[in-house]
């Protein structure tokens, strides 16, 4: 079956007693057992049966099964947010004295997780340029626990060579962990690119209309003990499993993801090309544009579509604020891949609590506006951006 069929027709783990066509929402914390022996089997993992919804729930398991069918992962665990997926993954891999080799280019909270939170527990962040394999290699040693990266960084829109990084990680017997949030996992195979553990904020494309927060950990079975540790240690001891209602919404979102994404990625390319014609915009950063420095690498790894996020650079921070304030249709909001087109000034918001020096080191510019492109008619969105920049649309 093709991915889109799996997204819709993956069978339930157990058939529903009422023949429900949708996976029911099992709003329950606990499960009843016939015998003490059955209970013991479930609790010790000899039989896969839900015992408590902090670690297993049929509605969440159904979403996990769909993602497993689509990605070919050996294990999929759904979490309460993208950050929960990332933090639990890194906590499962790291320990005091270990180091994480990664980049300065990443989502603000992930950067703070690695450089502040995990550092407090004795995990060393090793920040380097992931485009320079020799530099990455020079930062690896016997205490490295993983290489971590985002596949298209935001707002810099940098794309590293996953196969080269995977080969280096495997030389040191450690996993390559990739946050693939910006391109849906229905579009390309992270596994084939050598990624060992894939993490996703399902709040974004999957949830469909930004209904709910969620995260996914896809374990490709190449890191010894990782799947067991997530299931038997992290879910039990940290308690960040997805809730059943969220799983219901996101499972429904997954059914329409491909249809939405096809339109959104086309919309983004169409709008990016039109925005290139505006003199107020100094630069349009979208890997789908042929003259983008990462275009070829992105196409090779992720296929023909390049996601639904772009950034634009204006003259000054003031120009960014003025444009954002003048928008009438495009929404002033964070988040990505909503049905609605969204605009945000990353430097003053997502990265607002970093110092000027830190932002400079991360290449987060004061002159950048990030746009997440929705499902509206792009001529209306273009007209709104034109008027927000104080310019009439040329007919
Ligand atoms: C949004 C986002 C996250 C965090 O996900 P939440 O669901 O908001 O916790 C992590 N990484 C990337 C690339 C994101 O865009």
pLDDT in tens, 25-40: 999 999 999 999 999 9
Class of domain 258-394 as given by CATH: alpha beta
CATH of region 3-251, choose from 1.10.1760.20, 2.40.50.100, 3.30.70.270, 3.40.640.10 = 3.40.640.10
Any atom of ligand 1 within 6 Å of the Cβ of 186 = no
The pLDDT assigned to 135 comes to: 98
Ligand 1 atom with the shortest distance to the CA of 85: 9
CA of 376 to the centre of ligand 1 (A): 23
Q: What is the dihedral of CA 59, 62, 63, 67, to 10 degrees?
A: 170
Residue ranges of domains in the chain: 3-251, 258-394
The pLDDT assigned to 395 comes to: 43
CA of 219 to the centre of ligand 1 (A): 18
Give pLDDT < 70 ranges for the chain. Answer: 392-395
Ligand 1 atom with the shortest distance to the CA of 106: 13
CA of 314 to the centre of ligand 1 (A): 25
Any atom of ligand 1 within 6 Å of the Cβ of 307 = no
The pLDDT assigned to 154 comes to: 87
CA of 395 to the centre of ligand 1 (A): 38
CA of 189 to the centre of ligand 1 (A): 20
Q: What is the mean pLDDT of the chain?
A: 96
Any atom of ligand 1 within 6 Å of the Cβ of 106 = no
CA-closest residue to ligand 1 atom 4: 82
The pLDDT assigned to 208 comes to: 86
Any atom of ligand 1 within 6 Å of the Cβ of 107 = yes
Ligand 1 atom with the shortest distance to the CA of 86: 10
Any atom of ligand 1 within 6 Å of the Cβ of 216 = no
Any atom of ligand 1 within 6 Å of the Cβ of 148 = no
């Amino acid at each position: 079956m093709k991915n889109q069929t799996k997204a819709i027709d993956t069978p339930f783990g157990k058939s529903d007693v009422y023949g429900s066509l949708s996976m029911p929402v099992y709003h329950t914390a606990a499960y009843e057992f016939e015998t003490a022996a059955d209970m013991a089997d479930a609790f010790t993992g000899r039989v896969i049966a839900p015992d408590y919804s902090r670690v297993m729930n049929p509605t969440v398991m159904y979403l996990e099964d769909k993602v497993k069918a689509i990605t070919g992962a050996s294990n999929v665990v759904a979490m309460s947010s993208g950050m929960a997926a990332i933090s639990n993954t890194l906590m499962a891999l790291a320990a005091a004295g270990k180091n994480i080799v990664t980049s300065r280019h990443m989502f603000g909270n992930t950067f703070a997780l690695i450089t502040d939170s995990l550092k407090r527990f004795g995990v060393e962040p090793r920040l380097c340029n992931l485009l320079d394999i020799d530099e990455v290699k020079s930062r690896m040693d016997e205490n490295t626990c993983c290489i971590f990266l985002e596949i298209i960084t935001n707002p810099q829109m940098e794309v590293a060579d996953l196969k080269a990084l995977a080969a280096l990680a495997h030389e040191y017997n450690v996993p390559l962990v990739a946050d693939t949030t910006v391109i849906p996992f229905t579009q390309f195979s992270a596994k084939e690119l050598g990624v060992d553990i894939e993490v996703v904020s399902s709040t974004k494309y999957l949830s469909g209309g930004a209904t709910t927060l969620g995260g996914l950990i896809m374990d490709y079975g190449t890191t010894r003990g990782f799947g067991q540790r997530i299931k038997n240690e992290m879910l039990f001891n940290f308690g960040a499993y997805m809730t059943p209602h969220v799983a219901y919404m996101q499972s429904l979102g997954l059914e329409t993801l491909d249809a939405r994404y096809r339109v959104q990625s086309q919309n983004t390319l169409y709008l990016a090309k039109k925005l290139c014609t505006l003199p107020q915009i100094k630069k349009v950063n979208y890997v789908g544009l042929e003259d983008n420095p990462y275009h070829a690498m992105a196409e090779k790894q992720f296929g023909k579509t390049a996601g639904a996020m772009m950034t634009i650079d204006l003259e000054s921070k003031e120009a960014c604020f003025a444009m954002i304030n003048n928008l009438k249709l495009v929404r002033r909001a964070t988040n990505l891949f909503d049905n609605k087109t969204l605009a945000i000034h990353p430097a003053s918001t997502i990265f607002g609590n970093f110092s000027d020096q830190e932002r400079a080191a991360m290449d987060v510019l004061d002159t950048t506006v990030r746009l997440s492109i929705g499902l509206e008619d792009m001529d209306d969105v273009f007209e709104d951006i034109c008027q927000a920049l104080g310019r009439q649309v040329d007919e």
